[in-house]
């Protein structure tokens, strides 16, 4: 008896999704909550876990196919109906193989997958035993060719040919794990030069997660730190050439949606940007003084972003036009400040929302921002957590930019960009008059919709944020 797994509701306003990648093949054994496939929606990319345990008997929706919520995706049963389909199973298996070698988009993965598939089966004689028996455990070692030496080095343990299924998955765990990584993890591994076959996953079912790759990258960086210092003195550091150079890649569904909304927003609103320079020396001093204790008390790092978010939220309460929306010929003033935080991910820019930001202190902002950013990058964000924002904060300084002119996305009417905090000489006032001193400064850029926000409104808001930050009296807002 088999059971169909349907596309679940992925948010209140999400009605359809696109299958971007199957993580399992026909004949594979799956457990409850083990990821089956990756789905992309207008708001977020996510994995669909299996609600039941069993063997995949039939895949009903192909990759890159868009279906409505409730559509059957796959049939899972006891394996009795999955004896023959060896040909369909080969394609998804190859699709899992190719991404490990070339970190690229999901669509490119599908196009390149059939070519590498035969090679692993010929080069890795040990896993080749698996396809002839039952297809359940065999799929674990088969997808990845890289760890073949590891399998070959441990044959004495599973010597008994009658029971290869039990030891094989455990002893070749890295090979199995590498086959079930998400595009984000695969891309991250490629960018950092990490061989996925060498990692042991900490996720459900031994899946390799983003944290596993980051830990390996950090260990690799630490090991190379000493030798890396020498080339800096002898000559310039040459950036590695991207594998995307000279190629053509299709836009992801998320990129298409962002592009469409950006164009619509620019065409239907009157946008311009105002910029102020802020002396954040007092904030920097307080941060240096409290960051160790802050981490000890809250478990989160104290960056400049929570200070910016708190100052901006307080100013939104005083100047609600910056927090408003346009509804036809009416201006709607929300009764709460829901701050969208721009998060840079491998899939594109996403803006999860800190709800009721006006009620938070620095510890609250640090907690919410860290949680949302982590879950956004790990593809664990709920679609509804991307909705309902009334104002956006984007930290362009995290990548070293002084400032930019961010784009306002409807229905919001303003977005605040924070640049990098730098040290430079400034003219300051002292009791003896004016003097030149080294100060910590940052540029704040507010883009706004001129249909309802005037330049004077923007200036008042920016000056309020500037005064709050330059005053630096945040001791009572630390949250402990």
Residue 329 annotated among the catalytic residues of the structure: no
Give the tokens for residue 354: 């800190």
Residue 64 annotated among the catalytic residues of the structure: no
Annotated catalytic residue within 191, 378, 384, 450: 450
Under 8 Å between Cβ of 391 and 416: yes
Q: Which is nearest to 204 in space by CA: 36, 361, 332?
A: 36
SS (H, E, C) the chain: CCEEEECCCCCCCCCEEEEEEECCCCCCEECCCCEEEEEECCCCEEEEECCCCEEEEEECCCCCCEEECCCEEEEEECCCCCCCCHHHHHHHHHHHHHHHHCCCCHHHHHHHCCCCCHHHHHHCCCHHHCCCCCHHHHCCCCCCCCCHHHHHCCCCCCCCCCCCCCHHHHHCHHHHHHCCCCHHHHHHHHHHCCCHHHCCCCCHHHCCCHHHHHHHHHHHHHHHHHHHHHHHHHCCCCCCCCCCCCCCCCCCHHHHHHHHHHHHHHHHCCEEEEEEEEECHHHHHHHHHHHHHHHHHHCCCCCCHHHHHHHHHHHHHHCHHHHCEEECCEEECCCCCCEEECEEECCEEECCEECCHHHCCHHHHHHHHHHHHHHHHCCCCCHHHHCCCCEEEECHHHHCCCCCCCCCCCCCCEEEEECCCEEEEEEEEECCEEEEEEEEEEEEEEEEECCCCCHHHHHHHHHHHHHHHHHCCCHHHCCC
Annotated catalytic residue within 78, 454, 457, 471: 454
Other CB atoms within 10 A of residue 450 CB: 14
Q: Which is nearest to 305 in space by CA: 387, 390, 362?
A: 362
CA 371, CA 405: separation in Å to the nearest integer? 27
Other CB atoms within 10 A of residue 125 CB: 11
Catalytic residues, by residue number, are 450, 454
């Amino acid at each position: 008896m088999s059971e169909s797994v349907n596309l679940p509701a992925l948010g209140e306003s999400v009605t359809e999704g696109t299958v971007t990648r199957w993580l399992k093949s026909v004949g594979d054994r799956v457990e409850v909550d083990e990821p089956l496939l990756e789905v992309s929606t207008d708001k977020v990319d996510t994995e669909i876990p299996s609600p039941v345990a069993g063997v995949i008997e039939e895949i009903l929706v192909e990759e890159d196919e868009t279906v409505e919520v409730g559509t059957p995706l796959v049939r899972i049963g006891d394996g009795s109906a999955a004896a023959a389909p060896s040909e369909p199973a080969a394609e998804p298996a190859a699709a899992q193989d190719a991404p490990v070698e070339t970190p690229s988009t999901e669509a490119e993965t599908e196009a390149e997958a059939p070519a590498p598939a035969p090679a692993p089966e010929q080069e890795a004689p040990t896993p080749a035993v698996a396809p002839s028996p039952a297809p359940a455990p065999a799929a674990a070692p088969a997808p990845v060719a890289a760890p073949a030496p590891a399998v070959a080095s441990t044959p004495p343990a599973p010597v008994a040919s009658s029971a290869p299924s039990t030891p094989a998955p455990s002893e070749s765990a890295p090979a199995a794990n590498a086959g079930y990584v998400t595009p984000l993890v695969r891309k991250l591994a490629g960018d950092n030069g990490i061989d996925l076959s060498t990692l042991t996953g900490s996720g459900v079912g031994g899946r390799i997660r983003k944290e596993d790759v980051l830990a390996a990258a950090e260990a690799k960086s630490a090991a190379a730190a000493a030798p890396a210092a020498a080339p800096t003195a002898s000559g310039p550091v040459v950036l590695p050439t991207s594998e995307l150079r000279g190629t053509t890649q299709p836009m992801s569904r998320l990129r298409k949606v962002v592009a469409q909304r950006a164009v619509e927003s620019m065409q239907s609103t009157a946008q311009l940007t105002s910029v102020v320079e802020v002396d954040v020396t007092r904030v920097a001093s307080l941060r240096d003084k409290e960051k160790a204790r802050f981490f000890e008390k809250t478990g989160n790092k104290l960056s400049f972003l929570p200070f910016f978010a708190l100052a901006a939220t307080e100013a939104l309460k005083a100047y609600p036009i910056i927090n408003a929306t346009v509804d036809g010929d009416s201006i709607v003033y929300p009764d709460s400040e829901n701050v969208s935080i721009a998060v840079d991910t491998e899939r594109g820019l996403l803006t999860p929302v800190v709800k009721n930001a006006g009620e938070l202190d620095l510890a609250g902002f640090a907690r919410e921002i860290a949680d949302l950013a982590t879950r956004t990058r790990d593809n664990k964000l709920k679609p509804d957590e991307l909705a309902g924002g009334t104002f956006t904060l984007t930290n362009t300084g995290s990548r070293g930019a002084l400032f930019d002119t961010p784009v306002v996305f409807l229905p919001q009417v303003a977005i605040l960009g924070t640049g990098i905090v730098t040290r430079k000489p400034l003219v300051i006032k002292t009791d003896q008059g004016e003097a030149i001193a080294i100060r910590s400064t940052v540029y704040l850029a507010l883009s706004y919709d001129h249909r309802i926000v005037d330049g004077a409104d923007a200036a008042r808001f920016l000056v309020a944020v500037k005064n709050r930050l330059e005053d630096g009296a945040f001791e009572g807002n630390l949250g402990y």
